[in-house]
Structure 1
Amino acid sequence: MKEGTVHPKSLWSASVTPRRFESLNGDLKVQVLVIGGGMAGVLCAYMLQRAGVACALVEADTVCGGVTKNTTAKITSQHGLIYHKLVKRFGPETAALYLRANQEALRAYGELCEGIDCDFERRNAFVYSLDDPQAVEDEMEALRRLDFPAEFVGQLPLPFPVAGAVRFPDQAQFNPLKFVHGITEGLEIYEHTMVREVAGHRAVTDRGTITAEQIIVATHFPFLNLRGSYFLKLYQHRSYVIALEGAPDVGGMYVDDALKGMSFRNFEHLLLIGGGDHRTGKSGGNWEELSRFAARHYPNAKERYRWSTQDCMTLDDVPYIGRYSKNTPGLYVAAGFNKWGMTSSMAAALVLTDLITGKENPYAGVFSPSRSMLRPQLALNAMEAAVDLLTPTAPRCPHMGCALKWNGAERSWDCPCHGSRFREGGKLIDNPATGGIRPRRP
């Protein structure tokens, strides 16, 4: 791979001058408050306003300045080789509802993007396995049961052989920040307004108190610990992306079913390669792994952009969308998108808009945050938290006291329990923590 100027930010950030919004200045009363200005929060605010609901959104930093700007921006209902797992865990009816919910989200994006210049393109999506043909066949069998027109593919235009792949037709990709620029005009949004506490129908910020009939928490990782047990039901996972100039057009969107596998898609003249994954606070391949891969397979290409992102992972591969907990009427959540945040954000907005406006939604039960926690990942999450809580080191995360780990590749302090991250100087990067730390030297 040839050397060149590499921009240490996502190409989406480089392509858009974002809208800027004022901070809250004084108390506010509104029908619905959305906390969190990522794609999920913005879409919730947009859909609620379109439904005639008076809605305000508050964001601790800037709109879509966190995870959304660092996505690979694939819009698809193909979330890995997931459907045979859903059929096995929940039965074919629930699996079919999950598929329909995400296909409806895809259609909703298509309708909105007709009026927005956001590089929306239809693409086929592929999930491949490097070494497990049975997993691919199991997925194909599940999709046949669900009457979805998926296809088996034996070869892909990628620089390595695969055991097989599943093709979903007519999925999509876009520029997420251009899209957000197009839908935020006219929304009531307050930036640099962090919610410190939610008590009943009141959200307390440093800039005033907001009273709302109903509240949506869309802060990537839910920050309210006393309800919902999200500190047990979620963990966070980091992944990395490089954008290559002079690499081939692979003609679709591709992702390895393995958690630490690679993904591929093109944007204009660039090839985006994702991978290097690891649990937040642990070691992993990061950009070095991707650069070595590119040098080996695309030696004449030039790296132009590199960025990283973080995803909340649930216990059963299904997001948490709905009432925050059984005992919190009027408080809702959208979280745990398992690396598929674009499609899941739209699904969340559609489900929550119906719940808040009193309409029956056929998918609410699928995504209910109150479903069973009895999954193997629960024990792993609890064990990780226990180990890091007992580790005698500093600095510690202000969220729940876990020992932070130094991330040398990104020069940050990362929490292996719940995924909070802090800059070298101590400033908060990612929640669920709501404040910074006093770091020691790494």
Structure 2
Amino acid sequence: MDTIWEKTVDMPSYPPLKGTKKVETAVIGGGMAGILTAYFLAREGREVLVLEADRIGSGQTKGTTAKITVSHGLIYEKLIREVGKDQARQYALMNQTAVRKYKELINDLQIDCDFKECDSFLYSRFRDEALKEEVHAAQSLGLPAVFADQTELPFSVAGAVRYAGQARFHPLKFLKAAAKGLEIYEHTMVNEVEGNRIITEHGTVEAENIVFATHYPIMNRPGYYFLRMHQERSYVVALTGTEQMEHMYLGIDAGDSLSFRSYGPYLLLGGGGHRTGENPLGGQYEMLKLTARQYWEHCRVDTEWSAQDCMTIDSIPYIGYYSYSRPGWFVATGFKKWGMSSSMASALLITDYIIERNNAFSHVFSPQRLHVKASAKALTKESAQTARGFILERFKIPKEEADQLKKGEGGLIEYEGKKAGAYKDENGEVFVVSLTCPHLGCVLQWNPEELTWDCPCHGSRFDYKGNLIDNPAKEDLTHEQPACISGDKEKEGIL
């Protein structure tokens, strides 16, 4: 389904790239991070263009809950402990700057994007000690945090961290305004980047600076970001017939980390997160609907959607030089479910890199950093998960043949002596695809919640026909022939 943002705005369209272009800076990716980077560079008088594989805002930006906040979960006590107080302060103040910058831009440009200042709460229903520790840590870094035990939530809480002066908005309305006047090319998939040359299907761009704002970096080498991140999915339902909330909320309890924020007549209820490629049972949307009806018996679901986020091994985004070996390449990734503040922070930092202006907050976000204490355990876990993604293909025995699949069901099958992925639609037609992710060869897993094939290693996703949905993969799945098999052919014994 369309997100509430897509349903409430008409986005402009831009032409695809054709031929050859030369430019000072090319930004790959037309989401919030890419458009803001281009906006700030253009404002500095720099020559810049944007390449977007689909439509601007059509990637992760359209799936955000659009909270503009410094309250990134229980992050500050962790950062002080693992990377030190100075770098924790850099992280905190850069994100506080990002919140303030949205307010300034919206006011200066008079952008009508349903912007509303409010407070942001992290709550727990069962414990308050960790919240009190987080308040102390945040306050020590200069953030406006206080402990609270009263909220608007339809249930009691043990406590909450309350951050004053945060905000929420309509991300696509804002993006539409920020993109105005920029040189943008849509439906322009980048196939390869070689030095300062960007190669697309219908044209090339030569640029002194190249900014990868593609959510997940599309170039494996250099940088090796696939070794340092994984992706996670989360789910949202837009409800009517509920109480409205003045502020924003996120739970910190394991298995109960629900998100709440209002937009117009809607209440956006989020949750059900999991690592991409690890959702064999599904049920996230139904869980959210049941939860909503527990508190608002007669509420209705207007629309539902999901989002995907890159998670770094030390919980800090990678913003800066893509690699020491590519001084003209820049990257913004690993936003860890806080894409709005991180997109603004990325745009400000990368603009300063390109125009050679000093930024006191850049060090903590550097992709070349090494936080041993914060990263060692997570890196070991990531390596093990990636290895498991390859091992599955060799040792997992297929459980179902295509003729045993029920309508609306997907799974592994044995087809012509090898494993493949199959989905049977409601008409009995079976779609068969390769289970090998074209990114780095991991084995894809079926996601019954969204009828997709997801990569448990690096988060690429494909629809049941094999069409690419989410990177880092850059191409569709190979179709196993015949690509789709009718119910009649099943009966003839073809499968």
Normalising by structure 1, we get a TM-score of: 0.96
Structure 1 distance, partners of 2:138, 2:175, is 32
Structure 1 distance, partners of 2:289, 2:387, is 35
Which residue of the partner structure matches residue 382 of structure 1?
A: 383
Which residue of the partner structure matches residue 10 of structure 1?
A: 3
Most deviating of 318-327 and 149-158? 149-158
Compute the displacement of 1:385 (Å): 0.7
Which residue of the partner structure matches residue 412 of structure 2?
A: none
Q: Is the 8 A contact 1:259 1:277 kept in 2?
A: no
Structure 2 distance, partners of 1:286, 1:141, is 34
Compute the displacement of 1:402 (Å): 0.5
Structure 1 distance, partners of 2:458, 2:306, is 17
Structure 2 residue runs of 5 or longer lacking an equivalent are 394-418, 421-434, 486-495
Structure 2 distance, partners of 1:194, 1:412, is 21
Please tell me whether residue 169 in structure 1 is matched to residue 170 in structure 2: no
Compute the displacement of 1:178 (Å): 0.4
Please tell me whether residue 269 in structure 1 is matched to residue 270 in structure 2: no
Which residue of the partner structure matches residue 313 of structure 1?
A: 311
RMSD of equivalent CA atoms: 1.4
1:30-45 alignment to 2 at 5 Å? 30-45=23-38
Instruction: Report the residue type matching 2:247 in the other structure.
Output: G
Q: String of CA shifts for 1:160-192, please: whole Å, max 9, x gaps.
A: 232211000010000001001111111000011
Q: String of CA shifts for 1:312-333, please: whole Å, max 9, x gaps.
A: 1111111000001222111000
Q: String of CA shifts for 1:140-169, please: whole Å, max 9, x gaps.
A: 111232233311011322122322110000
Which residue of the partner structure matches residue 102 of structure 1?
A: 95
Q: Is the 8 A contact 2:320 2:332 kept in 1?
A: yes
Which residue of the partner structure matches residue 357 of structure 1?
A: 355
Structure 2 distance, partners of 1:439, 1:384, is 26
Aligned residues: 435
Instruction: Give the 3 Å change call, closer, same or farther, for CA 373–204 of structure 1 in structure 2.
Output: farther
Please tell me whether residue 47 in structure 1 is matched to residue 53 in structure 2: no
Q: String of CA shifts for 1:179-216, please: whole Å, max 9, x gaps.
A: 01111111000011111111111111111111000100
Which residue of the partner structure matches residue 122 of structure 2?
A: 127
Structure 1 distance, partners of 2:268, 2:214, is 26
Which residue of the partner structure matches residue 454 of structure 2?
A: 414
Instruction: Give the 3 Å change call, closer, same or farther, for CA 198–372 of structure 1 in structure 2.
Output: same
Compute the displacement of 1:258 (Å): 4.3
More contact order relative to length (CA 8 Å, sep ≥ 6): 1
* Structure with greater strand percent: 2
1:148-297 alignment to 2 at 5 Å? 148-258=143-253, 260=255, 261-283=257-279, 285-297=283-295
**Larger radius of gyration between Structure 1 and Structure 2:** 2
SS of structure 2 residue aligned to 1:311: strand
Q: Is the 8 A contact 2:83 2:371 kept in 1?
A: no
Instruction: Give the 3 Å change call, closer, same or farther, for CA 80–107 of structure 1 in structure 2.
Output: same
Compute the displacement of 1:304 (Å): 0.9
Most deviating of 47-56 and 135-144? 135-144
Q: Is the 8 A contact 2:114 2:170 kept in 1?
A: yes
Compute the displacement of 1:129 (Å): 2.1
Instruction: Report the residue type matching 2:272 in the other structure.
Output: G
Which residue of the partner structure matches residue 4 of structure 1?
A: none
Q: Give the share of equivalent positions with the same residue, in percent.
A: 47
Q: Is the 8 A contact 1:388 1:416 kept in 2?
A: yes
Instruction: Report the residue type matching 2:49 in the other structure.
Output: A
Normalising by structure 2, we get a TM-score of: 0.86
